[in-house]
Amino acid sequence: MSKNSYSGNVNIEQARVQYRLKSWRRDLNSFEDEHVSEELSETQVRIYLYLVTHGGDASVREIARELKLSPSTVHYHLKRLEEMGYIEKTSNGYIVKKPIRLRSHVVLGRFVIPRLLIYGLFFTGVFVGTAIYIVQNGINSERLLLLIVSLVAAVVMYIEATVGAKFYK
């Protein structure tokens, strides 16, 4: 009898573990779904970012002129974004209906900040902090290495953020 109760406890525990795993998988899948920028084309992301930063109704021609695209291309991608539920058509143009979580940018209201710029600021802080520490306590090989690596990382992040910002304009 104790053998059966033991196997019963094992089966219950296995069921709990499987339930937790299914729950975690579901949570991970929903988290991945939040990063919808992967299902959008580059043109759709550019149009969406323009609508976010423009902050109001934008017509097809206005978007086409600003992004240097043909009106038919803009119209096609606006329809796809509208079908996905991210934007909606108004009497004066298109507006953002639902926020999109982008991997490449952070959207704060009408401000769109490249993530790499944030990383560049972080490495700049590490560089400045290390430089201050070196001035106060002297330099050694480890501090010099940290200074150089943080400077290079900051410069690379700024360059990549600038290249990415030019790409989306």
For the stretch 53-70, pLDDT in tens is: 887 789 999 999 999 999
Q: What is the pLDDT of residues 74-129, one digit of tens each?
A: 999 999 999 998 889 988 899 888 888 877 788 887 788 888 999 999 999 999 99
Written as six digits, the tokens of 132 are 């201050």
How many other C-beta atoms are found inside a 10 Å radius of the C-beta of residue 98? Answer: 11
pLDDT for residue 31 is more than 50: no
* Predicted model pTM: 0.60
Burial of 133-148, coded b for 16+ CB within 10 Å and e otherwise, reads eeeeeeeeeeeeebbe
**Helix count and strand count (H, E) for the chain:** 6, 4
How many other C-beta atoms lie within 10 A of the C-beta of residue 11? 10
